[in-house]
Structure 1
């Protein structure tokens, strides 16, 4: 222990002291100080398995006679003891820088880190010793190093503060800095320098020991980590900006679509909402006319006023690519753009072109212009793509409303002999005609057809259960030789898509078991009939167009009780009431129960009766309040 060794030193004379680095009540350096305080002539040798280059350097700097690793074995220890006990301790002062004793030099030469000793008593504190590791680290030879200060390691990017910090080691004691130094080849490297004064008997620094370690790899790793942190911070800020701007825009669009009554309102209000957001300077809403490679400007907003409405040629441009590929396209410096829609026309740096597609229908495009040269990033384009689909969905809804309100419609009649069409298969299985009554949708959005079969209830139930074109079905009511059923088609894709295009099913008739089904729909007068036919042909093997004509909508009361009922009933209430009516639910005796009607709508009996009672009350209110 340190205390035990110190006590014995005061009572006995020793030729040398050998110490481990780690001691029970301190370490080898504590013992070294105790030895020197009692007798400076007694050499102290560190013999340890727990040290490293740093400990070795500190030991030599603290006037230890030698440092021996236990890995070198007892023989090496004995050799060092012979050397240090035979060495005469003396010092001389000359005008020429001197080097330490041979034992100290050998210990320093064994160090893996670069070690230099400078003499602070001489002008500029020149280097008086440099070990081999230091020479390899810097690339400078011993001949060049000795007699110079360390300024040869400095270069244009060496921090002056780090140099000044090292110079204070003479007055303030040990210091450590990391600084950018330069090798003899001019190659920069990060040097961790630990400087500590080596004091003499008078307490004044005799040498300044410096330990040099190349930490370039660690600094580069730290730099890469900092760059990653900065990149993540920029990414987070960018994401916050994107989410903030685009989420607000999405909210604006949803609000506009909920309140707009016409397509023109949607177009102009959305353009105005876009330019109200930071970073978006201009917006243009265009439609695709029948003329290929062109777009018709319908609405615009932004600084500088509106673009004149009219057609613009898209041939070979970014706008045409967006239309053909159905993707959001963001302009770059090499993209061709129609002159009247180029960003420069609006003082913008770039433009994002968003196709407005819903199902198979493309309603047009939305061009959003940004103020600077920065293009929209991938996340923004994904959000804008969703905004485009939202707008197209709203336009589709407006179109569907216009079909319901329009005075004229396009009536389209087709024949479908395919037995995967449920009415055709049911006619075949019942060997008789099938008539369409109405359509409803369940709570989950699934479509159901109400059909009248020309067979008794038992035969109708058997046919529905056996039909592969029917996913589920129930018998609602039966009178004499006819039965009303509610069926869910196994594949309602075509009927759903027709509804999305604004088409309304008016009639489905299968005259006999061998005849095709005649499907009659009312479509928007400005709709594309070819698209509707292609929807049907994708699902059914044979589809023949037999009728297409524009006509006046079937007359319906527009005022009075009927209009009041239309305004008051929800879709669910209307379907519940119509289902009950068409199933003869109000007859006495009732041919069908409320439970069966609820099953037909895929809702609970309680929910069905609630819809039905509410609908009946609204009908009576409309009748008697008049």
Structure 2
């Protein structure tokens, strides 16, 4: 999510928290149809009350929904009882005819409704309809153990391969446990856990929930990356046999583990063939018993952690992996997997936030200057083909993990720039904001990789990005606490034709503006800051305006009222920071 990003699947707790932020029955129903029934935005707009039907089994009523898929095709989706009741209640309250669309809006408007709910949910502001549908699949497959073919059928996936990202290979312990619960003879009719097992699982979930609460409070007080890493080890130490935070090679940075076990992460990662945390989408459980001779560490073979499995989760914030969280335990049930994955995301976002705050408050930093001729950077390719110059004015994250680039171009016709940039694979849309005659300001909606967001996501501030004749020069400033070597390595890996030109210490003098910046950082929400920055870069505050509110809302995929709401609140907080706490040096002897 530099925006609050999400590369892993929504947990059930996160979904429930999101749904509680719905303010209207329509918002609540849309979120439920996407997250609990697995409908796409376009399918939600075609559902009618008449499409819901009942089927009785074992004295219980179940609900099925006939979902139009286009071209006259339909599928049967399963509707949880509470969602079915909400659907009928909404239809009755709004006098919707049985054969009229239940949510009579466009698919784009459905996406906006989900975005409005996400905007009101801390930590989940980038959630989309697609994220809710992915949660639907993950919840059924991982948490509820529904057969993949059933999930494929009710969710409308074309093949079982589409569901592969949601499933991990079973560990040896899970295989044994699954067969141990089979009856001695006869077919297994129902997969209902015994009451004893359910009670144990519920108790474990309660323990992990309490652990998550304590972790959240402790992370809020962390002021350095080292603090955050120590906090996670200390917080999880009561729930697991061993906890390590390490780099992607397995070299331990912090731990809460038995003595002489710091070699375990590297040993496990090597045996499992894990060489890059970015390849772990959510959490990976490594069964040390099945790894066999691949493990050399005595702690796993015969020592304090003998027989333990190890779960590995990336400390991820959007596309950036800050390290790995490794946890050893006897076995990892579904609740443990969900918990460890969520901890990895929370710590990753915390590390990114700490780096940005350190840069904001620091009076010194590290400046990196990079040069690239890599045509994988779309501005490099466009400048080479058009023979023009680009200056990046700013970058703003928006929905669906895309970015708005605000770029000034000179030396090429407006039509030529729009045509060339629009053809780039990484660019979804391009529009002219203002033509100055000798240059023009453009807005590019970008969903592919780019250098600027890579620097920002790793805690930096992009000071300059200029491109001319197929050569791009980029400079960014980082807190002195950031490992800039890893930043450079990440950029060079993504764009091989990139070189580090210079690295130097710089002074960032604390001025009165820094106080305003800190106030804005503390009081303006991420979504409000995003909208305010996009409006500023798009010329919304200029006269005449460079962009209208409607154009800006369309670019950010939100409704116009939502945009105005965010803008007003953000402006109010910024002005309060400027005027409510005047610098005493500006007050004269008479108090004026």
Give TM class, smaller chain: 0.5 to 0.7
CA positional deviation for 1:450? 0.8
1:543 paired to 2:498 = yes
Cα distance between partner residues in 2 of 1:542 and 1:558: 37
* Pairing partner for 1:474 from 408, 425, 431: 431
1:224 paired to 2:174 = no
* Pairing partner for 2:271 from 317, 321, 341: 321
1:563 paired to 2:518 = yes
1:507 paired to 2:464 = yes
Q: Deviations over 1:518-565 (max 9, x none)?
A: 122334545555544454445546222222334344755465444333
Cα distance between partner residues in 2 of 1:621 and 1:443: 28
Q: Which residue of 2 aligns with 1:366?
A: 326
CA positional deviation for 1:437? 0.9
* Pairing partner for 1:439 from 376, 392, 395: 395
After superposition, the Cα gap between the structure-2 partners of 1:579 and 1:287, relative to the gap in structure 1 and judged at 3 Å, is closer
CA positional deviation for 1:488? 1.6
* Secondary structure in structure 2 of the residue aligned to 1:474: strand
* Secondary structure in structure 2 of the residue aligned to 1:466: helix
* Pairing partner for 1:253 from 212, 221, 228: 212
Cα distance between partner residues in 1 of 2:399 and 2:393: 20
1:450 paired to 2:406 = yes
Cα distance between partner residues in 1 of 2:183 and 2:308: 39
Say if 2:246 and 2:324, in contact at 8 Å, map to a contact too. Answer: yes
Q: Which residue of 2 aligns with 1:604?
A: 559
CA positional deviation for 1:496? 4.7
Instruction: State the structure with more CA Rg.
Output: 1
CA positional deviation for 1:423? 2.6
Cα distance between partner residues in 1 of 2:545 and 2:353: 40
Say if 1:461 and 1:475, in contact at 8 Å, map to a contact too. Answer: no
1:427 paired to 2:383 = yes
CA positional deviation for 1:403? 4.9
Say if 1:295 and 1:312, in contact at 8 Å, map to a contact too. Answer: yes
Q: Deviations over 1:299-351 (max 9, x none)?
A: 45xxxxxx57x984459844753684664334449675756788855xx7643
CA positional deviation for 1:415? 1.9
1:624 paired to 2:579 = yes
Cα distance between partner residues in 2 of 1:350 and 1:560: 54
After superposition, the Cα gap between the structure-2 partners of 1:569 and 1:314, relative to the gap in structure 1 and judged at 3 Å, is closer
CA positional deviation for 1:432? 3.1
Say if 2:396 and 2:533, in contact at 8 Å, map to a contact too. Answer: no
Cα distance between partner residues in 2 of 1:482 and 1:409: 33
Say if 2:460 and 2:478, in contact at 8 Å, map to a contact too. Answer: yes
* Pairing partner for 2:308 from 348, 351, 354: 351
Cα distance between partner residues in 2 of 1:232 and 1:578: 52
CA positional deviation for 1:438? 0.9
Say if 2:401 and 2:447, in contact at 8 Å, map to a contact too. Answer: no
Query: How many residues were matched structurally?
Result: 381
CA positional deviation for 1:446? 1.5
Instruction: After TM superposition, list the pairs within 5 Å mapping 1:199-238 onto structure 2.
Output: 224-225=185-186, 237-238=196-197
Q: Which residue of 2 aligns with 1:460?
A: 414
Cα distance between partner residues in 2 of 1:233 and 1:576: 48
Cα distance between partner residues in 1 of 2:365 and 2:416: 38
Cα distance between partner residues in 1 of 2:183 and 2:327: 44
Instruction: After TM superposition, list the pairs within 5 Å mapping 1:81-120 onto structure 2.
Output: none
After superposition, the Cα gap between the structure-2 partners of 1:350 and 1:420, relative to the gap in structure 1 and judged at 3 Å, is closer
Cα distance between partner residues in 1 of 2:346 and 2:447: 30
After superposition, the Cα gap between the structure-2 partners of 1:365 and 1:614, relative to the gap in structure 1 and judged at 3 Å, is closer
Structure 2 gaps, min length 5: 1-181, 278-283, 582-592
In terms of fraction of residues, the more strand-rich structure is 1
Say if 1:584 and 1:591, in contact at 8 Å, map to a contact too. Answer: yes
CA RMSD of aligned residues (A): 4.3
1:487 paired to 2:423 = no
Say if 1:447 and 1:492, in contact at 8 Å, map to a contact too. Answer: no
CA positional deviation for 1:575? 3.7
Cα distance between partner residues in 1 of 2:495 and 2:262: 39
Q: Deviations over 1:212-257 (max 9, x none)?
A: xxxxxxxxx996149x58x956677546634652575266336624
* Secondary structure in structure 1 of the residue aligned to 2:404: strand
CA positional deviation for 1:508? 0.8
Say if 1:354 and 1:366, in contact at 8 Å, map to a contact too. Answer: yes
Say if 2:261 and 2:299, in contact at 8 Å, map to a contact too. Answer: no
Q: Deviations over 1:46-97 (max 9, x none)?
A: xxxxxxxxxxxxxxxxxxxxxxxxxxxxxxxxxxxxxxxxxxxxxxxxxxxx
Cα distance between partner residues in 2 of 1:472 and 1:247: 46
After superposition, the Cα gap between the structure-2 partners of 1:584 and 1:559, relative to the gap in structure 1 and judged at 3 Å, is closer
Cα distance between partner residues in 1 of 2:199 and 2:391: 57
Structure 1 gaps, min length 5: 1-220, 301-306, 370-374
Say if 1:473 and 1:600, in contact at 8 Å, map to a contact too. Answer: no
Say if 1:409 and 1:523, in contact at 8 Å, map to a contact too. Answer: yes
* Secondary structure in structure 1 of the residue aligned to 2:435: strand
Say if 1:409 and 1:552, in contact at 8 Å, map to a contact too. Answer: yes
* Secondary structure in structure 2 of the residue aligned to 1:376: coil
Cα distance between partner residues in 1 of 2:228 and 2:266: 29
Q: Which residue of 2 aligns with 1:108?
A: none
Cα distance between partner residues in 2 of 1:222 and 1:435: 69
Q: Deviations over 1:561-619 (max 9, x none)?
A: 44333433233333443444444444444444333333443433333333333333223
* Secondary structure in structure 1 of the residue aligned to 2:459: coil
